[in-house]
């Protein structure tokens, strides 16, 4: 209970009360336990760092107590830092497949891609279409209680591709948080050094540490994607279907900037998609209301046919 209370920001005095009531260990004991567990975690991460693993990290902000006086030389109330996790790389059969140099050699030999090399096969296109239809049908199940049973229908489930073995769990190990900001190239490199050489005790001259392959952060990829969508489809207020038309209806004036907040923009785009899908179901179901449609007990094949029309008529970009 004491560890949980501390992790949720409970005050020292409250933990002392829990300790006096024999409901928790003392506050100093909690800190000793945390330090011991952190040390064990770093030791395990060090052993994992010699094998195939995935290294991830992200920035974070830490707030201090509001009761601490802020002076010129004191630690600021809000400090930025970096938090890291090491993941076991499951399913790695050939370790040389994770080496960086062959990847760079292939990159240097690469020629411009042809459309035939990136266009989906019939099998891939069929799989993608099925997943899209399931998404459209599941939307109806999430948004209308009379269709909630569709979420559990075995004929209306996503088909797995490259499915992991059953009961697969990816183990991960946290490292100690640093107070180094990773918003610059220098900060990123300093965090790499801190995690691998200071915390995990790896030799900085070890050639194995130079075989890194840094992957793109999914968050930043999605952020650039929705910013690009906003720029391309912003349009004008008097053009129905443009993003600014919907933003005006939803009273979201704060999304007018060139690079609006990621979470606000992504939430607004999902709201627009929800509205389009709901309008599509009402238009294509063939009944005066969704309640009447639900009472007709539509079967999976009928739902897929309607979802296909919605996908074609409401969710497919028009040729420019």
Q: What is the pLDDT of residues 204-243, one digit of tens each?
A: 888 877 766 667 678 888 989 999 999 888 988 888 888 9
Residue 25, Ramachandran bin (φ over 0: left; ψ between -120 and 50: alpha; else beta): beta
Q: Are residues 37 and 180 in the same domain?
A: yes
Q: Which domain holds residue 53?
A: 2-64+77-103+171-210
User: Mean pLDDT throughout 180-206?
Assistant: 88
- Going 127 to 131 to 133 to 137, the CA torsion angle's sign is positive
Q: Are residues 203 and 286 in the same domain?
A: no
Q: Has residue 251 been placed in a domain?
A: yes
Q: Output the six-digit token pair for 27.
A: 């506050």
Residues 274, 295: contact at Cβ < 8 Å? Answer: no
pLDDT-derived band of residue 319, with 50, 70 and 90 as boundaries? Answer: low
Give the closest residue to 132 by CA, choosing from 320, 319, 309, 318.
309
Structural domains in the chain (count): 2
Q: Are residues 195 and 145 in the same domain?
A: no
Q: Which residue has the higher pLDDT, 235 or 70?
A: 235
Q: Has residue 109 been placed in a domain?
A: no
- What is the spatial distance between Cα 137 and Cα 153, in angstroms, rounded to a whole number? 11
| Cα 143-147-153 angle, rounded to 5 deg | 120
Q: Are residues 35 and 121 in the same domain?
A: no
CA 218 to chain centre: 7
Q: Has residue 48 been placed in a domain?
A: yes
Q: Are residues 148 and 183 in the same domain?
A: no
Q: Are residues 95 and 239 in the same domain?
A: no
Q: Are residues 201 and 301 in the same domain?
A: no
Based on its alpha-carbon atoms, the radius of gyration of the chain, rounded to whole angstroms, reads 26
pLDDT at 264: 92
Q: Are residues 192 and 140 in the same domain?
A: no
Which of the 8 DSSP states describes residue 162? S
Where helices occur in 49-121 by DSSP H, the ranges are 100-109, 115-118
User: In sequence order, what are the residues at sequence separation of 6 or more whose Cβ sits closer than 8 angstroms to the Cβ of residue 110?
Assistant: none
- What is the spatial distance between Cα 24 and Cα 3, in angstroms, rounded to a whole number? 8
Q: Are residues 29 and 140 in the same domain?
A: no
3-class DSSP state of 91: coil
Q: Are residues 81 and 224 in the same domain?
A: no
CA 213 to chain centre: 20
Q: Has residue 111 been placed in a domain?
A: no
For the ranges 51-55, 104-108, 237-241, 265-269, the one whose mean pLDDT is highest: 265-269
- What is the spatial distance between Cα 198 and Cα 46, in angstroms, rounded to a whole number? 11
pLDDT at 211: 67
Using the 3D structure, point to which of 154, 186, 210 is the last residue of a domain. Answer: 210
Q: Output the six-digit token pair for 35.
A: 């330090």
Using the 3D structure, point to which of 210, 239, 270 is the last residue of a domain. Answer: 210
Using the 3D structure, point to which of 147, 182, 210 is the last residue of a domain. Answer: 210
- In this structure, how many other beta carbons lie within 10 angstroms of the beta carbon of residue 130? 14
Q: What is the pLDDT of residues 139-187, one digit of tens each?
A: 999 999 999 999 999 999 999 888 888 888 888 999 998 988 888 889 8
Give the closest residue to 132 by CA, choosing from 304, 317, 259.
304
Q: Has residue 320 been placed in a domain?
A: no
Q: Are residues 13 and 144 in the same domain?
A: no
Q: Are residues 161 and 175 in the same domain?
A: no
Residues 70, 77: contact at Cβ < 8 Å? Answer: yes
Q: Report the predicted TM-score, pTM, of the whole model to 2 decimal places.
A: 0.72
Burial class (CB in 10 A: 0-12, 13-18, 19+), 167: exposed
Q: Has residue 127 been placed in a domain?
A: yes
Q: What is the pLDDT of residues 102-149, one digit of tens each?
A: 888 888 998 888 888 889 999 999 999 999 999 999 999 999 999 999
Question: What is the share, in percent, of the chain residues with pLDDT greater than 70?
Answer: 94
Q: Has residue 189 been placed in a domain?
A: yes
- What is the spatial distance between Cα 119 and Cα 125, in angstroms, rounded to a whole number? 9
Q: Has residue 70 been placed in a domain?
A: no
Q: Output the six-digit token pair for 189.
A: 């490199």
Q: What is the per-residue burial (b if ≥16 Cβ within 10 Å, else e) of 29-47?
A: ebeeeeeeeeeebbeebbe
User: Mean pLDDT throughout 69-90?
Assistant: 80
- What is the spatial distance between Cα 2 and Cα 28, in angstroms, rounded to a whole number? 11
């Amino acid at each position: 209970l004491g560890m949980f209370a501390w992790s949720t920001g409970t005050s020292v005095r409250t933990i002392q009360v829990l300790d006096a009531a024999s409901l928790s260990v003392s506050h100093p004991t909690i800190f000793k336990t945390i330090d011991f567990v952190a040390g064990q975690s770093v030791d395990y991460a060090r052993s994992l760092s010699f094998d195939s693993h995935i290294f991830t990290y992200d920035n974070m902000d830490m707030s201090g107590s509001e009761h601490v006086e802020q002076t010129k030389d004191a630690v600021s109330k809000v400090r930025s830092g970096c938090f890291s996790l090491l993941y076991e790389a499951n399913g790695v059969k050939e370790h040389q497949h994770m080496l960086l140099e062959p990847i760079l050699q292939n990159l240097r030999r690469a020629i411009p891609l042809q459309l035939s090399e990136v266009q989906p096969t019939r099998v891939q296109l069929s799989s993608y279409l099925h997943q899209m239809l399931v998404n459209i049908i599941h939307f109806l199940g999430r948004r209308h209680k009379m269709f909630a049973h569709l979420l559990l229908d075995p004929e209306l489930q996503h088909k797995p591709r490259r499915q992991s073995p059953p009961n697969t769990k990816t183990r991960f190990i946290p490292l100690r948080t640093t107070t180094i900001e990773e918003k610059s190239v220098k900060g990123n490199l300093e965090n790499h050094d801190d995690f691998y050489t200071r915390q995990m005790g790896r030799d900085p001259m070890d050639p194995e540490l130079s075989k890194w392959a840094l992957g793109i952060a999914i968050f930043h990829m999605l952020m650039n994607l929705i910013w690009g969508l906003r720029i391309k489809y912003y349009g004008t207020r008097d053009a129905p279907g443009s993003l600014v038309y919907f933003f005006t209806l939803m009273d979201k004036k704060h999304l007018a900037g060139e690079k609006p907040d990621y979470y606000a923009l992504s939430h607004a785009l999902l709201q627009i998609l929800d509205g389009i899908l709901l309008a599509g179901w009402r238009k294509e179901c063939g009944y005066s209301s969704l309640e009447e449609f639900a009472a007709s007990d539509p079967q999976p094949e009928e739902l897929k046919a309607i979802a296909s029309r919605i996908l074609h008529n409401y969710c497919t970009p028009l040729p420019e």
